[in-house]
Structure 1
Amino acid sequence: MADIVSERYAQSLYEVAKDEKQEKEYLEELTAVCGAFRENPDFLKLLTTPSIAFEDKQNVLKTVFEGKIRPFVLNFLMLTTEKGRIGLIHEMREAYKEQYYFENNIAEVCAVTAVPMSDALRDRLKNKMQAVTGRQVVLETSVDPEIIGGIVVKVNNEQFDTSLRTRLSEIAARLTNTIA
């Protein structure tokens, strides 16, 4: 969950994006920027290092992002760097995404399975979750062989766990309580 500073910066960026009717595009660009920082942690470290002059940081930002992202998103990066808040960029992106999803009636659903899901199963799950939530669904999937089988679905702050690992753990706990 984003803190108040991140939320305020994200809200300001969102308001500009909304005025320009480009909320989704800003989200995509902010996501790409965060991806670049995730892939190159030293890049973000450089921007948060106090001993490096702001002008140098500004030049680096321009060199890397100018022409690849909208000018206002680049200005946003420069402002957050100047104010010493660029280290919160991932939280700002998350707060922006939450606002975008809220205003566009979108639910983020994360599904974890033991093996990759087929496209048909992904579509069925997405349709089922849209029916359950009454919202448009963005489905994120991942694989975790340790769940053995079944599925773990997270929607907002709720988790539905029908994994075989959880079922086996529940049976083991019941047997332990029965024997003890």
Structure 2
Amino acid sequence: MAELVTKRYAKALFDVAEEKNTLEAFEQEAIKISEILKKNIGFIQILGHPNIIQEEKIKLVEEAFDGNASNELVGLLVLLVKKNRENYMIEILDEFVNMAKVAQGFLQATVTSAIPLQQEQLSKIKSNIENNTSKKIELNAVVDESIIGGMIIQVGDKVIDGSIKGKMQALKSELNNLRLA
């Protein structure tokens, strides 16, 4: 259900942004607000506290973001408070940003490696993905020592697992299937 709520509100904001031709401006505001909320997670906890009346929560949101964000984004945040969906604020804003990037021709990609990759390596990976997808890529690098070595590349909903851990799991699965045959 959380994913449905997130997508519904993000899509509504996306539709408003497209209608008003302010997609890039809304995207930048959403990024800024999301970063602020992530750094101040206590703010969302206050908004979700059952002992604080709704009018006070709305007043907090308006004071925090009025003048720093468009009326539409502040209105969305107020609506989320009114509907008791304040815990979804960050996810909704992040989903909206993803929708905006896709609409602008960007594709999210993540490369996971056991050790930090150098900028030159990341540039080559990004370039290869862009050549294969004909899209502009926004590449995120993640370090996960548990994959032992190699890398995992995720582009949209496609995953290429070239990690040692992934290969070991595939080998284990094959050996288990051999025993059953």
Cα deviation, residue 110, structure 1: 0.5
Gaps of 5+ in 2: none
Please identify, of 24-33 and 131-140, the stretch whose mean Cα deviation from structure 2 is larger: 24-33
Distance in structure 2 (CA, Å) of the matches to 1:109 and 1:86: 28
Cα deviation, residue 65, structure 1: 2.1
Cα deviation, residue 77, structure 1: 0.9
Which whole-Å deviations, capped at 9, do the CAs of 1:136-180 have from their partners, x for residues lacking one? 111111111222221110111221111123234445666777799
Over the aligned positions, Cα root-mean-square deviation in angstroms equals: 2.7
Distance in structure 2 (CA, Å) of the matches to 1:75 and 1:38: 19
Q: Is the 8 A contact 1:9 1:92 kept in 2?
A: yes
Give the aligned partner of residue 141 of structure 2: 141
Which whole-Å deviations, capped at 9, do the CAs of 1:29-53 have from their partners, x for residues lacking one? 2233233333333311221234322
Gaps of 5+ in 1: none
TM-score by length of 2: 0.82
Give the aligned partner of residue 32 of structure 1: 32
Q: What is the one-letter code of the residue matched to 2:132?
A: V
The answer as to 2:95 corresponding to 1:108 is no
Give the aligned partner of residue 154 of structure 1: 154
TM-score by length of 1: 0.82
Give the aligned partner of residue 90 of structure 1: 90
Which whole-Å deviations, capped at 9, do the CAs of 1:11-36 have from their partners, x for residues lacking one? 22112222333213322322332333
Which whole-Å deviations, capped at 9, do the CAs of 1:114-142 have from their partners, x for residues lacking one? 22211111111111111112211111111
Residues 120, 32 of structure 1: CA spacing in aligned structure 2 closer, same or farther, 3 A cutoff? Answer: same
Give the aligned partner of residue 44 of structure 1: 44
Query: Percent identity between the aligned chains?
Result: 22
Cα deviation, residue 112, structure 1: 0.6
3-state SS in 2 of match to 1:102: helix
Distance in structure 2 (CA, Å) of the matches to 1:47 and 1:175: 52
3-state SS in 1 of match to 2:45: helix
Instruction: Report the number of matched residues.
Output: 180
Residues 54, 146 of structure 1: CA spacing in aligned structure 2 closer, same or farther, 3 A cutoff? Answer: same
